[in-house]
Chain A
Amino acid sequence: MSVKTRRAAAAAFAFSFILTDAPPALAHGFGPTYDIPIPLWLYLYGAAAAVVLAFVPLALFSRKERDAPYRYPRFDLFRVRLLRTLLTSRPLTGGLRLLSVMLFFVVVIAGLVGLQSGFNIAPTFVWVTWWVGLSFFTAFVGNLWPLVNPWKVLFDWAEGLVRRLGYRDGLELDEPYPKALGLWPAVGLYLVFVWTENVFSGSYVPRNIALFALAYTLITLYGMAFFGRETWLRRGEAFSVFFGLLGRFAPTEVGVKDPDVCHDCDGCDDDAVGRCVNCYECFARAAPEERELNLRPPAVGLGLPEKVPPGGAAFVIVVLAGVTFDGLLQTPLWLEIVRLTPVTQTLGVMLLPLLFFCIYLGFVELSRILGGGEGGFRRFAAAYAFSLVPIAIAYQMAHYYTYLLIQGQMIISLVSDPLGWGWNLFGTAAFEPRYGIVGAGFVWYSQVALIVAGHVIAVYLAHSISLRLLRDPVRAFRSQLPMLVLMVLYTITSLWILAQPIVK
């Protein structure tokens, strides 16, 4: 295929949005699906495995000490001299921040002035490289977002400039943030994002991406200036909250050795041994010799004794419902629902999290009653929410990894011609994506394995959370039965979606 026809192919999705009046019933808001539905027997097998394996964590826990504090092995990477020098070097960290801001501007400029109906870096970079790629990186390597968040970097630069100009107070007004507001601004913004991704028919049009990015920039910079940078990043910046959540699953964590540094910070997790982890604000504030970057077993960060602000559980549910909605949109069932009931796509984006939330709260209440009925309902609802994160990550991975592998290759040619103006900056503009990287058989098995693995980790986490809340193995065991049913239900739903024929 010539460069020209290949470019035309790249344009196909974007073009169909512009030309057709009716919103196209595309798979997800952007790009094609490469996977074929899993066969019925594999679906049944996955469901059976989910039920059988759900009892493994129960068996493991029945032998555990009741009051053991939450501990897990860690290894401080900064103890290795070479790694310490490399990872803390200014050229690396400063370079990443600069690169991130440059990419942000490239996306905005490409969106505004680049070719709209074809070769343009904005859609692929935002939806594939950043949204799918960075979320996988965060969950499986570590959370880089607090370092490279372009809005945070821009704010820091603006603040530095203002201070140099002689305004001592800087940009932050530090208005008191209403405590009851909690994470709700992030929940709302994330919901808008999920709508843009799955429902908005122009989500692949470069100009829309640029306009959305600019609008979000205004909201974020204003939020940081009004309430203070860290407060807004922790409470209102949807992507900081989202990547923070995934980062808890990651096999790495930042930490501070001296607990005094974290004394008055409400963003830290106290790991009950006196050190504080997972807080980038304290990490940045601590003296270099107090900092640590630990390797840890995956997912243990989700079981830490956390302080969940209001809206914390809702955010997790919205993330979970968001990834499910993405898959549900492609099923014949959803098509029928939209055809026969007044439910529209937009209504669906709002109703599904609500439905999930009600089901979740119902099962939490059941679990609380079976566990002896002590302790506040709110405390339970907040505490169990993190145990659902592995399920969301596993489903996101199963749903998107072929997409990242195949569609993600487009970025190689796009970096050479970001605006679609026929450039060839790095000599890669003619690169063609390779399709046969993974066979459909492998995709089937890996999807089912991922979903079942996420399910087992979730059951394990829920059980360890219940032990902490109830402090009694027998009651914890009983309280876990409804949670088991909830997780098995959700896992079977995920597998069912993967087994559905894809409708157009």
Chain B
Amino acid sequence: MIVLILGGLFFLLRPDTPAGAPRDRTFDVSVEGGEMRPPEISVEEGDRVTLRVSSDKPIEFHMHGYDVEREVEPGQAAELHFEADLTGRFEIEDHESEKELGVLQVRPR
């Protein structure tokens, strides 16, 4: 009985699986004064992500978990590509100054 109620509730509340197949996503990311805009990049699992990173200072743009690292010079946008296959919340930091810039959030499908 209880199992039935809980099972029913689960299917009632659970939304349909998020639309479709993995998408190509591109984000323009700018780092100014040690802060990333937008501060949070949110994607879905499996998405192919492109980040176009620009910065007002030379930084070493590093994404935890994915271990993607790229040096960015002012006035020279750098492009990063990766496939969002790890889900969770990952810090993005400047390896040069050891400061946290923002967060990458990958939601499961």
Contacts and interface: CB of A to CB of B under 8 A. Distances in A.
Nearest to A20: B99
A45 B9 contact: yes
Contact of A48 (B9, B91, B93, B108): B9
Interface hub of A11, A33, A36, A41 (most chain B Cβ within 10 A): A36
Chain B interface bracket (under 10, 10 to 19, 20 to 34, 35 or more): 20 to 34
Interface stretch (B10-18, B48-56, B72-80): B10-18
Contact of A49 (B6, B103, B108): B6
B46 to A, nearest CB: 12
Interface in A387-443: 402, 435-436, 439-441, 443
Nearest to B89: A36
A11 B98 contact: yes
Interface in A1-39: 1, 5, 8-9, 11-12, 15-16, 32-36
B87 A440 contact: yes
Chain B at the A interface: mostly helix, strand, loop or mixed?
mixed
A502 interface: yes
B14 A440 contact: no
B92 to A, nearest CB: 11
A56 B88 contact: no
A1 B67 contact: yes
B65 interface: yes
Interface residues of A, number: 32
A180 B67 CA distance: 56
B47 interface: no
A9 B64 contact: yes
B103 A504 contact: yes
B5 interface: yes
Contact of B88 (A5, A42, A435, A504): A435
B31 interface: no
A439 B108 CA distance: 8
Interface of B: 2, 5-6, 9-10, 13-15, 39, 45, 62, 64-65, 67, 69, 85-91, 93, 95, 98-100, 103, 105-109
Interface of A: 1, 5, 8-9, 11-12, 15-16, 32-36, 41-42, 44-45, 48-49, 52-53, 56, 402, 435-436, 439-441, 443-444, 502, 504
17 contacts: A5-B95, A12-B93, A16-B98, A32-B91, A34-B88, A35-B88, A41-B13, A42-B13, A435-B88, A436-B86, A439-B86, A439-B108, A440-B89, A440-B108, A441-B87, A444-B108, A504-B103
Given A41-B15, A435-B65, 6 more contacts: A16-B98, A33-B89, A36-B88, A45-B13, A439-B88, A444-B108
